[in-house]
Structure 1
Amino acid sequence: MEWDDDPRRLGSAEFRGLSASHPVEHIDVAQEPHRLAEGGLWVVVGSFEGRVDAWRFARAEHRVPASRPADPSRRWRGPDASAWRSSLDRAGYERGVDSIRRDIRDGDVYQVNLCRVLSAPLPSQSPGPDAVALSERLARGNPARYAARIVIPETEEMPGAWVVSASPESYLSVSGRTLTSAPIKGTAAPGVPMLDKDIAENVMITDLVRNDLAHVSEPGSISVPELLGEHAHPGLVHLQSTVSARLDDAHAWTPRMWGDLLDGTFPPGSVSGAPKSSALRIIAREETAPRGPYCGAIGWVDADARRAELAVGIRTFWWEPSGGGVLRFGTGAGITWGSDPAGEWEETELKARRLIGLASTDRMSP
């Protein structure tokens, strides 16, 4: 089967083991969450600020191997490495860390994820630059378990999307009635031990995810098969825990399922904080740019197969046509009482360095 992978034609999406093309319908999930359980293959992009969009695709294929060979004729042309600007500079970010530590001292919150958005001009005709070329570059230089690429041209009938992600983190995975989430909290360079604050924040967020999933799960079905597992990724190491549950009768692919599931878990706890409501209020106070799909949800729902896989939208690029065309990328760190402002800034740099390098065009390259 041949797939239309050119983002300048009809639109397509690719994930680990899934290709889709020809979007035929769009829904605002907040208005019609029941549609995700009724049937069809839906590609989902949720913004951290709360909007969740889904497009139903006419053609889809689950396949092995998970990715096709790269097309050598494609070449990514990104912004110059010097063109990137941050929504928070180092001084502003470190002030934010200090401010959040005062909130923790005062008992308002336990942990907050503080993020900044990097952006660079990247002019392009609609529907945007060659997302396939960027996704192939990331696959070579930063392979990721939940890599994704979504390009949907905007039309009169439906909004568009341009997202390329190298996310390593599962937000929600559903197979039949089995529901899992694998929050990542705690980051270090290879060979550098995790700090006590990394362990503390992972435990806090794992407990938050357990509580979030309880709203739709059978009593007694929630378990934590992995706690504080160290996982190596390109250029860094993460602490990951895994929470598993069984959907109860009221939510096992019923019309209520996705509305209640998203209401109870979104945005993901690992990129907001604990308690979530307090963390979101503080994030709105401290951050100066919307996160968009970064820290949101990126993935797919196959209602016919009763399967779904949604990643947390970290390590994610998105392109917007405003201002002549802008490529964006988010990076952040979890702030606890034990946080050091300079250390948290360096963590955001560590997370961004490799991917920004891959997405930038070196002037000396052919």
Structure 2
Amino acid sequence: MDNQQGYARFAGVEARRPVEMVDLARDPEALRRGGTWFVVAEFEGPARAWRFADVTRVAADQPGVAGSEGLPAAWRGPTTQSWSTSLDRDAYVDAVRRVREHVRAGTVYQANICRVLDAPLLRVEGHEPDPRALADRLAAGNPAPYQGVVHVPGGTTPDLEPVWVVTASPELYLRVEGLVGPGPATLTSAPIKGTARTVEGLTAKDEAENVMITDLVRNDLQRVCVPGTVAVTTLLDVEEHPGLVHLVSTVTGVLRPQVAAADDLWARLLTATFPPASVSGAPKSSALRIIDELETAPRGPYCGAVGWVDADGGTAELAVGIRTFWWSQDERLRFGTGAGITWGSDPVREWEETELKAARLIALASAAD
């Protein structure tokens, strides 16, 4: 199928032919009416979902995201030199210092400060850039547990708002299982906090940062789970990814029956847990105010959520929208990178962490065959 008609793939589900789009704030019951929906929730809002008519299961670890009709066209990305950043080194270092002042004042324990990189990427002969080509490049050069693409081109139909997102996320935001059947329904989240080039580079600061965010995720899940069922099943596991390592913890709980059965289930889950704790901070409300104060560009899908909801099967898988590119109708390709800031943060090292997280993926997106 022509890529310009719409395509999505994420975590073992591949879909074509988008037929419906909803804003979950306006129609929170849509994801309970049936079908498979691909969700893109932006950090600042909105949270939107597209229902696709042709859906197939594929191997979750299958290389690339090309369909059976063959590989997509070669990726033609922007030049390496054309990327700019919403916060340069000095501005980011200053933002880290200001977060540390907030920590010293007791306003916040941790805040995630991000910057957005962007570069021009024009249509070719009226066609949007092919996100499947970029997704294939990332899958080959930076394989990730939650790699995928959601694309509905502009002008597909008047009722379908466009979306163009490619993710190589390593982080699980929410997994829901058991909504259909004898139950109980369960909820799982696996926050990442703590990043270094090697295992030996991980520090006590990384561990403390992860524990703080894991506790925040536990509190978020308790809002919608049966009391006493929320548990940290793994703490400070080390995961190795291309060029870096992360600390990852896992939190699970049993959904309250009245929540699991609610028509507005997804509105309740997003209200309780969004934006993800690992990309906001603790306490979350204070961290979000600081983020709004210090960041100069909207995050969009970056630090939001990307994934699918199978309303018929009663399951869902959503990733935190990190290691994520998005293209907009203004013909610019964007990518976000950030770091969690605590009292133990060194401002220059935090800048270097944002560089580390971005370097491999920006190089892949900038390369041309």
Matched, 1:7 2:13: no
**Aligned AA for 2:108?**
V
Match of 1:320 among 303, 328, 331: 328
Could you say which residue in structure 2 is the equivalent of 1:311?
Answer: 319
Q: How many Å separate the matches in 2 of 1:256 and 1:315? A: 29
Q: How many Å separate the matches in 2 of 1:192 and 1:235? A: 13
**In the alignment, is the contact (CA less than 8 A) between 2:199 and 2:238 conserved in 1?**
no
Could you say which residue in structure 1 is the equivalent of 2:160?
Answer: 158
Q: Share of identical aligned residues, percent?
A: 57
* Higher mean displacement: 37-46 or 284-293: 37-46
- Per the TM alignment, residue 195 of structure 1 is displaced from its structure 2 partner at its CA by 1.4
Matched, 1:52 2:47: yes
Q: How many Å separate the matches in 2 of 1:102 and 1:288? A: 19
- Per the TM alignment, residue 74 of structure 1 is displaced from its structure 2 partner at its CA by 2.5
Matched, 1:355 2:361: yes
**In the alignment, is the contact (CA less than 8 A) between 1:128 and 1:162 conserved in 2?**
no
Matched, 1:21 2:16: yes
**Aligned AA for 1:42?**
W
**In the alignment, is the contact (CA less than 8 A) between 2:152 and 2:160 conserved in 1?**
no
Could you say which residue in structure 2 is the equivalent of 1:145?
Answer: 145
Give per-residue Cα distances to partners, 1:252-308, cap 9 Å, x unaligned.
142131111100100000000000000000000000000000000000100100000
Closer/same/farther in 2, CA of residues 65 and 248 from structure 1, 3 Å limit: closer
Closer/same/farther in 2, CA of residues 327 and 222 from structure 1, 3 Å limit: same
Matched residue SS, 2:340: strand
Q: TM-score, normalised by structure 2?
A: 0.94
**In the alignment, is the contact (CA less than 8 A) between 1:301 and 1:308 conserved in 2?**
yes
**In the alignment, is the contact (CA less than 8 A) between 1:224 and 1:242 conserved in 2?**
yes
Matched residue SS, 1:228: strand
Q: TM-score, normalised by structure 1?
A: 0.94
Matched residue SS, 1:354: helix
Structure 2 unaligned regions, length at least 5: 179-184
- Per the TM alignment, residue 336 of structure 1 is displaced from its structure 2 partner at its CA by 0.1
Q: How many Å separate the matches in 2 of 1:22 and 1:11? A: 6
Match of 1:341 among 340, 347, 353: 347
Match of 2:275 among 255, 267, 287: 267
Q: How many Å separate the matches in 1 of 2:190 and 2:223? A: 17
- Per the TM alignment, residue 310 of structure 1 is displaced from its structure 2 partner at its CA by 0.5
**Aligned AA for 2:350?**
E
Could you say which residue in structure 2 is the equivalent of 1:91?
Answer: 90
**Aligned AA for 1:7?**
N
Q: How many Å separate the matches in 2 of 1:73 and 1:246? A: 41
Q: How many Å separate the matches in 1 of 2:37 and 2:72? A: 30
Structure 1 unaligned regions, length at least 5: none
Match of 1:242 among 232, 235, 250: 250
Could you say which residue in structure 1 is the equivalent of 2:182?
Answer: none
Give per-residue Cα distances to partners, 1:67-90, cap 9 Å, x unaligned.
366555631100001111000000
Closer/same/farther in 2, CA of residues 68 and 200 from structure 1, 3 Å limit: closer
Q: How many Å separate the matches in 2 of 1:282 and 1:72? A: 44
Give per-residue Cα distances to partners, 1:189-241, cap 9 Å, x unaligned.
02433111111110010010011011111111111110000100010000000
Match of 1:168 among 167, 170, 184: 170
Q: How many Å separate the matches in 1 of 2:132 and 2:261? A: 33
Q: How many Å separate the matches in 2 of 1:182 and 1:195? A: 20
* Higher mean displacement: 303-312 or 185-194: 185-194
Matched residue SS, 2:258: coil
Closer/same/farther in 2, CA of residues 114 and 65 from structure 1, 3 Å limit: closer
Match of 2:290 among 270, 282, 287: 282
- Per the TM alignment, residue 50 of structure 1 is displaced from its structure 2 partner at its CA by 2.3
Give per-residue Cα distances to partners, 1:17-69, cap 9 Å, x unaligned.
11011111111101111221231111100000021001111111123364366
**Aligned AA for 2:163?**
A
Q: How many Å separate the matches in 1 of 2:127 and 2:147? A: 20
| Count of residues in correspondence between the two structures | 356
- Per the TM alignment, residue 16 of structure 1 is displaced from its structure 2 partner at its CA by 2.3
Q: How many Å separate the matches in 1 of 2:238 and 2:268? A: 31
Q: How many Å separate the matches in 1 of 2:232 and 2:93? A: 34
**Aligned AA for 2:97?**
D
**Aligned AA for 1:254?**
A
Q: How many Å separate the matches in 2 of 1:289 and 1:259? A: 26
Match of 2:209 among 201, 204, 209: 201
Closer/same/farther in 2, CA of residues 54 and 169 from structure 1, 3 Å limit: same
Q: How many Å separate the matches in 2 of 1:72 and 1:255? A: 40
Could you say which residue in structure 1 is the equivalent of 2:129?
Answer: 129
Q: How many Å separate the matches in 2 of 1:341 and 1:148? A: 32
**In the alignment, is the contact (CA less than 8 A) between 1:7 and 1:127 conserved in 2?**
no
